[in-house]
Amino acid sequence: MLTLQARPQPIRLALPTAQTPATSPRTSPLRAIFGANRAKLLLTYVLFNVENLLRLSQPFVLGLAINDLLHESSFGLLLFVGQHVTHLLISSLRQMYDTRVYTGIYSDLATKTVVDQRGREVGLSRVAARSSLSREFVEFFENHVPLLIKSAYSVVGALVMLAFYDRVLVPICLGLLLPAVVLNRIYSRRTFELNRQLHDQLEHEVDVIDRGHEPSIRRHYDAVASWRVKLSDCEALNFGTMEVFVLGVMVLALLRTCSSLTTTPGDIFAVFRYVLMLLMGIDGVPKLVQQFSRLRDLTQRMS
């Protein structure tokens, strides 16, 4: 909260390689953590995959429930209740197990980092900082990997389910991937450049404050504001352009789904939920790309 916003400094984290005797000291920290906790991590991911399969089945089951109820059968409704109860049990259990696994890994890692570094007479404040930093690596497994799995289910899973309802919808939806890729390439290149310039400006902040010269202070904060405005404009333009393509896909999907005479209300419902799931999945991709590139940068600085 009280940290100054500035470009992150390169920091070296001496990860305790002793904790993972099977791996060489040159192994990346992520590999080392995975190697030492393979079984537990795989179990959390298995549970998370089951949870996502259940999430993916929800529109299908709801659609079935609607169709069955309209024909005075409650089979679909019972299936929906079963799906919902299983999902809530699995996801609650997964969350409880997850936290035990990840806090355990962090606790081990932090203890070993501290003991190891204090043994080598590294300064107190550095060791404290490094023990917090080791949390970043645990977060890769705890947050970033599950986010990737979830996005894959939203995009690929939704496409598979749409193919089940109507094969023609798949190429329509795939047509969205081309503008998404092109727009994101332009966007990420542009924001990288703008962020670089914003960070360059932010690095002057303490100097400018130190000098205490009013016009320079004003000029500094105005420059910071102008980079932020440029970044925001870039984001708004990217979002607006993508939404035009999204609109195109939704119109085509509506025309296609509602023109077929055999379509039932439940199917229309399910198809639209999958289209929206796919669109939300595609929306999340840029954030995911940024997080991974940030972590790659962090790993490089530490190896």
193 vs 233, which CB is nearer to its own copies?
Answer: 233
Q: Which stretch binds its own copies (CB under 8 A): 19-27, 45-53, 82-90, 189-197?
A: 82-90
Can you say whether the dihedral through the CA atoms of 223, 225, 231, 237 is positive or negative? negative
294, two tokens: 């940030």
Inter-residue contact 149 to 269 (CB < 8 Å): no
Q: Which stretch binds its own copies (CB under 8 A): 44-52, 114-122, 139-147, 179-187?
A: 114-122
Q: Which residue has the tokens 């598979």?
A: 160
Q: Which stretch binds its own copies (CB under 8 A): 139-147, 149-157, 182-190, 260-268?
A: 260-268
The verdict on 280 binding its own copies (CB under 8 A) reads no
The verdict on 46 binding its own copies (CB under 8 A) reads no
In 137-161, which positions are buried (b, 16+ CB within 10 angstroms) versus exposed (e)?
Answer: bbebbbeebbeeebbebbbebbbeb
Identify which of 164, 151, 171 has the alpha carbon closest to the alpha carbon of residue 55. Answer: 151
Query: What does the angle CA 275 – CA 280 – CA 286 come to, to the nearest 5 degrees?
Result: 135
Inter-residue contact 13 to 133 (CB < 8 Å): yes
DSSP calls for 258-277: HH-TT--HHHHHHHHHHHHH
Fill in the per-residue mask, 6 to 25: x = in contact with its own copies (CB under 8 A), - = not in contact.
Answer: --x--x--------------
Fill in the per-residue mask, 200 to 239: x = in contact with its own copies (CB under 8 A), - = not in contact.
Answer: -----xx--xx-x-x--xx--xx-xx--xx--xx-xxx-x
Neighbours of 215 (CB within 10 A): 7
Q: Which stretch binds its own copies (CB under 8 A): 30-38, 108-116, 158-166, 186-194?
A: 108-116
24 vs 246, which CB is nearer to its own copies?
Answer: 246
The verdict on 3 binding its own copies (CB under 8 A) reads yes
Site for its own copies, residues 138 to 197, rule: CB under 8 A: none
DSSP state of 288: H
User: What is the closest distance, in whole angstroms, from the C-beta atom of residue 193 to its own copies in the complex?
Assistant: 18
User: What is the closest distance, in whole angstroms, from the C-beta atom of residue 161 to its own copies in the complex?
Assistant: 17
